[in-house]
Chains A and B, each alone.
Chain A
Amino acid sequence: MSGVHVSTTINGDPVEFVCNADEPLLDVLRDRLGLTGAKEGCGTGDCGACSVTVNGRLVCSCLVLGAEVGGAAIETIEGMATGDQLHPLQKNFISHAALQCGICTPGFLIAAKALLDKNPDPSEEEIRFGLAGNLCRCTGYDKIVRAVQATAKEMRGA
């Protein structure tokens, strides 16, 4: 299979790669670019562990082709902190014990950030439905929802 040459932006950095035409963005990130923060939990868009944003839109990177993202702006978990400063969501996930095994955490953080970017003051129900595309098997979601609530409050300066 001949490769597809793609120029794109990942976490603000210009990136070029060659991938197969049928290769998911997730495989490009993980296997070609060494960005293993996005996880493959299912490969069918059901678990959200591979969540990234493409041009600000939350997607499962297992359902996007690498060949599709030319010229796009992609954000992954590796770009969430600014230097040594964690994003408030990252800090609150740790302080609220919102992770146990941690495999779903990058996806949840990306999804939660996408939610708060759109809706800085979500209700509990809006948080629960906003994160319903991400599976967590360890926490029962209780502490995840609380961490997102605390972050929303903190970021609103409330």
Chain B
Amino acid sequence: MPLDTHFTNQVFKSVGTRPLRPDGIDKVTGRARYGADYNAPGQLIALVLRSPHAHARIKKIDTSKAEKLAGVKAIITSADLPDLTGDDRGMKDTLENCMARDKVLYDGHAVAAVAAIDATTARKALKLIKVDYEVLPHVTDLDEALKPDAPVIHSHIFTSGVTPKPTKPSNNNRRSEYGHGNVEEGFKQADVIVERTFKTEQTHQGYIEPHACVANVSPDGQGELWVCTQGHFVYRNQCAMLLGMDVSKLRVTASEIGGGFGGKTHIWTEPLALALSRKANRPVKLTMTREEVFRASGPTSSTSIDVRIGAKKDGAITAAHAVLRYQGGAFPATWADFGAQTSFACYDLKNVKSEAIEVIVNRPKVAAYRAPSAPMAAFAVESVVDELARKIGMDVVDFRIKNAAKQGTQSSYGPVYGPIGIGPTLEAAKNHPHMKAPLGKNQGRGMACGFWFNFGGQTCVDMNVTPDGSVTVAVGTIDVGGSRASIGLMAAEELGVPFDQVRVVIADTSSLGHNDMTDGSRGTFSTGMATIAAARNAIKVLCERAAKMWDIPEDAVVWENGTAKPAGANAGSFPPLTMREIAEGAGNTGGPIAGHNEMVADGAGVSFATHICDIEVDPETGASKVKRYTVIQDAGKAIHPSYVEGQYQGGAAQGIGWALNEEYIYGKDGRLQNAGFLDYRIPVCSDLPFIDTVILEIPNPNHPYGVRGVGETSIVPPLAAVANAVSNATGVRMTHVPMSPPRILKAISAHKG
């Protein structure tokens, strides 16, 4: 039965409450098993040999000495991973990223891997592998990479999206453009124009759990993989392709996941562990060190962005134009595209153009990071919006309210909006006590808006009514922040049973149909929608069984408050049947009772947020400290409000770290100089204040409960909100994040002249 996905304004019993999360005790007692917490009998330990060069040709790899070391059971290089990707260029790049083939493309790129009886032996073996490199010129800065004399990293890349096709390869793999109207005409109508160029440095998701897996492949072609991942089905599909296995024969189990934020949506070492296991015919455990995570997983892009916005004196924006350059690391990517699409999405604009320029550099292959690409675009746009409002002499919130997108607005990236939350979040900001609180010496206040699309995607859920009438829900999206609780709440709501009568489990890839990655803020949205549909299907079966038990027609039974009741002519003729009573008799009425659903969860509602930040800057040292922070965001419907608040707070904290501290620092030699948490400093407890949250609920019309994804949008405004606050505290417009103390000092002294 297809689900009617339209929002109905129902009164909730379970949804919106705050029960204890069902995996809580496991996680406070150390019992929960994460990627590195699993061991297989007879397992080997694997380590990866990585390139010390940013760009080099591999002339020869000699593994002969390492192979002879006692305790070494398998060694692989790219020769053990033949290219089976066919015409799939994206998967070919993934293969090449997992293990370098002809060239190493960044510091940390894998060149070989060893499986041995223990870590000590594996470490010794790595030292015995000799790689003969021909070092090539490299480029790690994206603006440098676009210069005509830059070393070209891939000879097969010719810029796409331009006509005529370029005659020479370059590090610009793609150009694209979004918008409508005529920006040049629009700028002619403007009374004031602000134009600036911004830079953001590369940051990492910084999940506390390094990547870890245990692979077990047998000579008969069957395999198992235990792994921390945001998408075990996608890992299965991709690993099977690279290893030449039947997808059905690789069973992947998702461990508990110690943070992902987009960084665990891509495979890196998993195919290596599988290949080693196949070669050694033993289980193989492979865990990245923190240094490897920084050097060789998938951080987000560094960027340089030009923004030009014009407005009339009354505050109406007449034109907006951005050119966004994003590096995707050593492989072609489309991250600037997301930046371009999101850049002006908060506003109702007649003339708007965003141009995306994708850049290849000698850095690790960029992966998604929470609302990928949107925070940098928002930093640039919201900084200019702020400056423009001030130049016109308008309040920064009123200026945004005047130009905010609304229902019916054609977005800058194409679609026409339904009901959206940008206006309401701005009104809430305007009326929030935070906006009126006094500021102290050297303090400044900034605010900014942010947008994220949210995604849906392929989703599959199995619901089983057990013989005692309690319910299990098997889902294929992983629980990284309380989604067992939110999905359990929706199942309980739909069935009309208490929350603790439902158990939600994450099924392995052999026990459930394909599910897309847990990304795009889709977990609670999509799996929730499939759970509602599965519950409705189960209720249909429950009603059929009750009808059988009463010997009345099926359509004469209704489901109310977790019980089947006779309706119509039979109303009141039998006492209601509980789930338990129906389930206990299932053996006599047709067998086990279940509800299933498979869908492509369309209609993810777009999400908007407005953040307010107070900061204090020490003019002597350039050090800054966030004194107060408020997040206002539209959730559509908050299923478990505590974990919605948690998403708002966590995204804000990550954004604050990005704004003030975090950056990849590459030396002239092309090597990453700060591959550890000491020198890549993420915010600690004493860096932050309490983070206030305001949850707005503007229902998503395409979800039965009105749910929108909530996970990502919270990282979009902070770079700009913090930058606007620092700019206001110092009187100098900040155009380069992170705004580390030396950078702030430099900006202040340059301004003083």
* A residues whose Cβ falls under 8 Å from a Cβ of B: 1, 20, 30-31, 35-44, 46-47, 49, 76-78, 80-81, 86, 90, 93-97, 99-106, 109, 125, 127-129, 131-146
| B256 proximity list for chain A (CB < 8 A) | 101-103
CB pair B28 A90 closer than 8 Å? yes
**6 smallest A-B Cβ distances: which pairs?**
A37-B30, A103-B258, A140-B653, A102-B27, A100-B481, A46-B677
Inter-chain CA distance A142–B676, complex, in Å, is: 24
Question: Among B6-14, B32-40, B469-477, which stretch is in contact with chain A?
Answer: B32-40
Cross-chain pairs A/B with CB under 8 angstroms, 30 sampled:
A20-B120, A36-B36, A38-B30, A41-B677, A42-B676, A42-B677, A43-B289, A44-B290, A44-B678, A80-B29, A81-B29, A94-B25, A94-B28, A97-B642, A99-B28, A100-B480, A100-B481, A101-B259, A102-B256, A102-B258, A103-B258, A103-B259, A104-B258, A128-B685, A132-B686, A135-B684, A137-B206, A137-B259, A138-B480, A142-B691
Interface size on B, as a range, is 35 or more
Give the Cβ gap from A71 to chain B, nearest Cβ, in Å: 24
- Among B18, B210, B261, B646, which residue has its beta carbon within 8 angstroms of that of A139? B646
Let me know if A132 and B684 touch, CB within 8 A.
Answer: yes
Residues of A contacting B150 with CB < 8 Å? none
CA distance A100 to B209 in the complex (A): 13
CB-nearest residue of chain B to A42: B290
Rounded to whole angstroms, the CA-CA distance of A137 and B645 in the bound complex is 15
Chain B: minimal CB distance from A7 (Å):
23
B685 and A137 form a contact (CB under 8 A): no
**Contact between B646 and A100 (Cβ–Cβ < 8 Å)?**
yes
Q: What sequence of 0s and 1s flags, for each residue 685-701 of chain B, a beta carbon within 8 Å of any chain A beta carbon?
A: 11010110000000000
Closest chain B residue to A77, Cβ basis: B30
Instruction: Verify if B158 is at the interface (C-beta below 8 Å from A).
Output: no
B61 within 8 A of A: no
Distance from B102 Cβ to chain A, minimum over Cβ atoms (Å):
32
Asked if A41 and B646 make an inter-chain contact with CB atoms under 8 angstroms apart, the answer reads: no
Task: State whether A140 touches B691 (Cβ < 8 A).
Answer: yes
A137 touches B24 (CB 8 A): no
Chain B residues whose C-beta falls within 8 Å of the C-beta of A76 in the assembled complex: 30
- The residue among A37, A96, A97 with the most chain B CB atoms within 10 A of its own CB is A97
Rounded to whole angstroms, the CA-CA distance of A47 and B290 in the bound complex is 10
- Is B643's CB within 8 Å of the partner chain A? yes
Whether A100 pairs with B23 at a CB distance below 8 angstroms is no
Q: How far is the CB of B659 from chain A (nearest CB, A)?
A: 14
Q: Nearest B residue to A124 by beta-carbon distance?
A: B690
* Inter-subunit contact B20/A139 (CB<8 Å): no
Given contacts A94-B20, A97-B642, A137-B261, 13 further A-B contacts (CB under 8 A): A39-B209, A41-B677, A44-B290, A44-B676, A44-B677, A100-B643, A100-B646, A101-B260, A135-B684, A137-B207, A140-B683, A142-B690, A143-B649
A-facing mask of B109-124, CB < 8 A → 1, else 0? Answer: 0000000000010000
CB under 8 Å from chain A, chain B span 713-752: none
Tell which of A1, A103, A125, A131 touches B120, judged by Cβ atoms closer than 8 Å: A1
Among B28, B645, B686, which residue has its beta carbon within 8 angstroms of that of A105?
B28
Complex alpha-carbon distance, A94 and B30, angstroms: 13
- What sequence of 0s and 1s flags, for each residue 663-689 of chain B, a beta carbon within 8 Å of any chain A beta carbon? 000000000000011100011111010
| Interfacial chain B residues near A47, Cβ < 8 Å | 208, 290, 677
Residue B21, interface by CB 8 Å:
yes
B482 interfacial contact with A, CB 8 Å: yes
Given A102-B256, A138-B650, A144-B685, A97 and B28 touching (CB < 8 A)? no
In the complex with contacts A97-B21, A100-B650, A135-B688 CB distance below 8 A: no
List chain B residues, Cβ under 8 A from A106: 28, 30
In the complex formed, the residue of A with least CB distance to B651 is A140
Check if B652 is an interface residue, CB within 8 A of chain A: yes
Q: Which residues from A are CB-within-8-Å of B206? A: 135, 137
CB distance from B276 to the nearest CB of A (A): 19
Q: Are B29 and A141 in contact (CB under 8 A)?
A: no
CB neighbours (8 Å) of A140 from chain B are 649-650, 652-653, 683, 688, 691
- Complex: chain A residue closest to B20, CB-CB: A94
A37, closest chain B residue (CB): B30
Residue in B23, B24, B32 whose Cβ sees the most chain A Cβ within 10 Å: B24
Q: Is B342 an interface residue (CB 8 A)?
A: no
Chain B residue with Cβ nearest A93: B28
Bound CA span A103–B10, Å: 37
The winner among A30, A35, A81, A137 for most chain B CB atoms within 10 A is: A137
- Knowing A95-B20, A140-B650, say if A46 contacts B678 (CB, 8 Å): yes
A41 to B643, CA, bound (A): 23
> Closest A-chain residue to B31, C-beta based?
A37
User: Quick check: is B654 within 8 A (CB to CB) of the other chain?
Assistant: yes
Q: Which residues of the other chain, A, contact B678 by a CB distance below 8 angstroms?
A: 44, 46
The DSSP consensus for interface residues of chain A is loop
Closest to A126 in B: B686
Residue from A36, A99, A103, A104 in contact with B24 in the complex, judged by beta carbons closer than 8 Å: A99
**B676 surroundings in chain A (CB, below 8 A):** 42, 44, 46
Whether the pair B20, A78 counts as a contact (CB closer than 8 A) is no
- The A-contacting residues of B in range 291-335, CB under 8 angstroms, are none
Query: Given the complex of chains A and B, what is the CA–CA distance between A106 and B480 in angstroms?
Result: 16
Chain A residues with CB under 8 A of B652:
140
Check: B257 CB closer than 8 A to any chain A CB.
Answer: yes
Q: Which A residues are in CB contact (< 8 Å) with B643?
A: 97, 100
- Is B677 touching A101 in the complex (CB atoms < 8 A)? no
A154 and B34 CA atoms in complex are apart in Å by 31
Tell whether A135 pairs with B649 under 8 Å between CB atoms, given A36-B33, A100-B481, A140-B691.
Answer: no
Q: Contact mask B213-253 → A, CB, 8 Å, 1/0?
A: 00000000000000000000000000000000000000000
Residue in B27, B37, B682, B683 whose beta carbon sits within 8 Å of that of A36 in the complex = B37
- Distance in Å from the Cβ of B557 to the closest Cβ of chain A? 39
Complex CA gap A32/B670 in Å reads 39
A86 nearest CB across to chain B (Å): 7
Residues A103 and B30 in contact, CB atoms below 8 Å apart: no
Q: How far is the CB of B673 from chain A (nearest CB, A)?
A: 15
Distance in angstroms between the alpha carbons of A25 and B219 in the assembled complex: 37
Task: Name the one of B29, B37, B258, B645 contacting A101, with C-beta atoms under 8 angstroms.
Answer: B258
Distance A103 CA – B683 CA, assembled complex (angstroms): 17
Chain A: minimal CB distance from B296 (Å)? 15
Tell me the minimal C-beta distance from B228 to chain A in angstroms: 9
Task: For B212, give the chain A residue with the smallest CB separation.
Answer: A40
Give chain A residues whose Cβ lies under 8 Å from the Cβ of B691: 140, 142
- Given A81-B29, A140-B650, A141-B685, answer yes or no on A100-B482 (Cβ-Cβ < 8 Å): yes
Docked complex Cα distance between A127 and B689 (Å): 12
**A142 CA to B630 CA in the complex, in Å?**
12
Task: Tell me whether B677 and A78 are in contact (CB under 8 A).
Answer: no
Q: How far is the CB of A76 from chain B (nearest CB, A)?
A: 7
| Chain B minimum-CB-distance residue to A45 | B678
A145 touches B682 (CB 8 A): no
Of A46, A49, A104, A133, the most chain B CB neighbours within 10 A belong to A46
Chain A residues with CB under 8 A of B642: 96-97, 143
Q: Pick the contact of A135 from B27, B120, B682 — CB < 8 Å?
A: B682
Interface residues of B in 605-658 (CB under 8 A from A): 642-643, 645-646, 649-650, 652-654
CB–CB B30/A36 < 8 A: yes
Give the chain A neighbours of B18 by CB distance below 8 A.
Answer: 97
A73 vs B481: C-alpha distance when bound (angstroms)? 34
Interface residues of B in 368-383 (CB under 8 A from A): none
- Residues of chain A within 8 A of B32, CB atoms compared: 102
